[in-house]
Amino acid sequence: MVARDREAHFDRDAWRRCADFGVLGMPIPQQYGGLGLGLSELLAVMEGLGAGTRDQGLLFSLNAHLWTNSIPILIYGTEEQRRRYLPPLCDGSFIGANAASEPDAGSDIFSMRTRATRDGGYYVLNGAKTFVTNAPSPISSWPTPRSIPPLARWGLPGS
């Protein structure tokens, strides 16, 4: 474990075992490749992994994958996006990344400066990120700007 941490080694075998067990698809409906379980079941499994694994980095990666990729796609994604991205996120062939940390803000989302500006059918991101959870080889990545439309209801400035 210490050697893996020192070498910044991502344990793909452990990731694969979690995917095979269904952890990555627990809260995702079966029609998108998940197990269709509820929040209580997911939280119980995460608590159990937290108590039972020595690899807390894996636990952090699993949660970043689920809470900042799979679940937002399920809630806010289009049907086409759900069908395209959720099955490989559930089976572990896609690894969801999270780019929230910024040079002057850390992971404090209220201090972030990165902005997303709509340009036709796309968003243009403008800003800098410091750390990307589940990098350097993310297949799916959600850089977190401060101006994401679904966050406007929470009163984030610039949204």
Please compute the mean of the pLDDT values over residues 31-43 and round it to a whole number: 96
Check whether the bond before 72 is cis (ω within 30° of 0). Answer: no
pLDDT > 90: percent of the chain: 48
Confidence (pTM): 0.79
At residue 62, the pLDDT reads: 95
Structure confidence by residue, pLDDT tens digits, 78-89: 999 999 999 999
Q: Classify burial at 118, counting beta carbons within 10 Å of its beta carbon; exposed 0-12, middle 13-18, buried 19 or more.
A: exposed
The DSSP symbol for 156 reads: -
pLDDT at 137: 53
Question: Which pLDDT band holds residue 156 (cuts at 50, 70, 90)?
Answer: very low
**Tens digit of pLDDT for each residue in 44-75?**
999 999 999 888 889 999 999 999 999 999 99
User: Does residue 118 sit in helix, strand or coil?
Assistant: strand
Q: Give 154 or 30, the one with higher predicted confidence.
A: 30
Q: What is the mean pLDDT of residues 103-111?
A: 85
Angle at 28 between CA 24 and CA 29, to 5 degrees: 140
pLDDT digits (tens, 9 = 90+) for 113-145: 888 888 888 888 888 888 888 876 545 555 555
Say how far apart CA 65 and CA 140 lie, in whole Å: 9
Contacts of residue 27, defined as CB under 8 A and 6 or more positions apart, other chains included, come to 34, 37, 38, 39, 42, 66, 70, 71, 74
Over range 2-6, report the average pLDDT: 70
**For residue 106, what are its two tokens?**
């850390």
